[in-house]
Amino acid sequence: DYVPAGFNFFDHLNTAWTPIGGGIVKTVIDGPLAPGESEVVTISLQLKYTSAENGYVNVAEIAYSEDGNNNPADDIDSDSDTNPNNDAGGKPNSDSDDSVIGDGSGNPGDGDATTDEDDSDPWGIEVASIGDYVWNDLNDNGIQDDGAPNVVGVQDVTVRLYDIDGHNILNVQTDENGRYLFENLVPGEYYLKFEDLPAGAVWTQQNAGNDDLDSDVDQDGLTISTVLDAGENDLSWDAGIVQLASVGDYVWLDTNENGVQDAGESAVDGVVVHLLDENGDRIATTVTDESGYYIFDGLRPGTYSVEFVKPAELEFTGKGQGTDDTKDSDVNVATGKTDQFVLQSGENITKIDAGLRCTMVLELTPPQVLCKGDTVVIESNITGGAPEYIYDWSTGEHTPTIEVT
């Protein structure tokens, strides 16, 4: 028997066979065989996982035989040499395979049973493969869009291959380009599971378009099963990941009402902030902390806007003042909403701010006449959430200046 490239021969699996060098092993059949009798000889070869071929042919030859009187048999024996390609006939899966009536006059590899050598037994196996790609889906549309940086491979994602019965057959990791491949598979039904995503990543949309360019995994990283035929190389099993994003930042009291965060101006806590989706619907709500900050995290890429609910007796300061976008107010004065913005995969926006200004006016009309040197106490319960207020006293046209303590 010629052990083809791509296979391993192990002694412990083949105790009746003896290696004789040059990739050839032999066995001796206990005889004699009476006319019409047959003998089944078994050899076990292990397909190498690292082999690059898609198909293999194993050829076993009868190099010598004798009749019942120990005389050479009158048949068409194979050439007794180390070349498996110089014997007539023997095309795998043809009529000549296992033929016992050929006269040996044919050409090597033909499929004519009448011209085949009656003692060659070629047997073929075709293997299959499955792969292909894990990428960072920046816009979360489930499609490998044209052009960098829209398609960036993701390295070190674990891909597990299972047979239809749920047995884990093989495991690989994606390479530096996000590619993976399972080779030399026995034809059959398989499915895949993708694991070990980068921190903060989830799976993109499943089956969003053309099968060669879309993502085939659900939110658990599983594909459906597929049948691999003999010789098939299916490179359409891809997986897109999405890095979750965030948006936030700051609400402050704009004391001088210039629309810019100046030194000494204070944060405003307890302000209600809503996150709006592309349609303007509220999808999340938070409040500013004691330092005036807020954040919405764990967001998928997409189009969003932010809505601020102003406290009573406060108004929004002017939008888009100054030249530093991280220090201005981004809120429409009338609506309390920002413009829409797009979050990309893994992006963290920390510049959506809101400035507030005071609008409260207190008027005092005393019930009695106040003379110079008199003292009056004014009490007011002020709400609105801001920690600081400013005041300006007006004493009227004919009233002397007053002292405030």
- Looking at the predicted structure, is the pLDDT value of residue 78 above 60? no
The pLDDT value recorded for residue 77 is: 47
The pLDDT value recorded for residue 215 is: 94
Q: Which domain holds residue 187?
A: 128-243
Q: Is residue 366 part of a domain?
A: no
Confidence class of residue 352 from pLDDT cuts 50, 70 and 90?
A: very high
Q: Is residue 363 part of a domain?
A: no
Confidence class of residue 191 from pLDDT cuts 50, 70 and 90?
A: very high
What is the spatial distance between Cα 273 and Cα 244, in angstroms, rounded to a whole number? 20
Q: Are residues 77 and 13 part of one domain?
A: yes
Q: Are residues 219 and 116 part of one domain?
A: no
The tokens describing 335, both together, are: 């609506």
Q: Are residues 186 and 164 part of one domain?
A: yes
When divided into structural domains, the chain yields a total of 3
The pLDDT value recorded for residue 369 is: 64
What does the pLDDT look like over 42-66, one tens digit per residue?
A: 888 776 544 455 556 555 555 545 5
The pLDDT value recorded for residue 30 is: 75
Element (H, E) at 189: strand 188-195
The pLDDT value recorded for residue 24 is: 83
Q: Are residues 215 and 140 part of one domain?
A: yes
Choose between 69 and 18: higher pLDDT: 18
Q: Are residues 167 and 84 part of one domain?
A: no
Q: Which of 215, 243, 271 is the last residue of a domain?
A: 243
Cα-based distances in Å from 274 to 84, 303, 386: 77, 14, 19
The pLDDT value recorded for residue 386 is: 45
The pLDDT value recorded for residue 68 is: 44
Question: Once rounded to an integer, what is the mean pLDDT over residues 86-91?
Answer: 64
Q: Is residue 381 part of a domain?
A: no
Asked if 202 contacts 300 with a C-beta cutoff of 8 angstroms, the reply is yes
The pLDDT value recorded for residue 92 is: 56
Q: Are residues 114 and 12 part of one domain?
A: yes
If you ran DSSP here, which 8-state letter would residue 100 be given?
S
Q: Are residues 320 and 203 part of one domain?
A: no
The pLDDT value recorded for residue 277 is: 97
- Looking at the predicted structure, is the pLDDT value of residue 246 above 70? yes
The pLDDT value recorded for residue 67 is: 47
Q: Are residues 166 and 182 part of one domain?
A: yes
Q: Is residue 227 part of a domain?
A: yes
Q: Is residue 373 part of a domain?
A: no
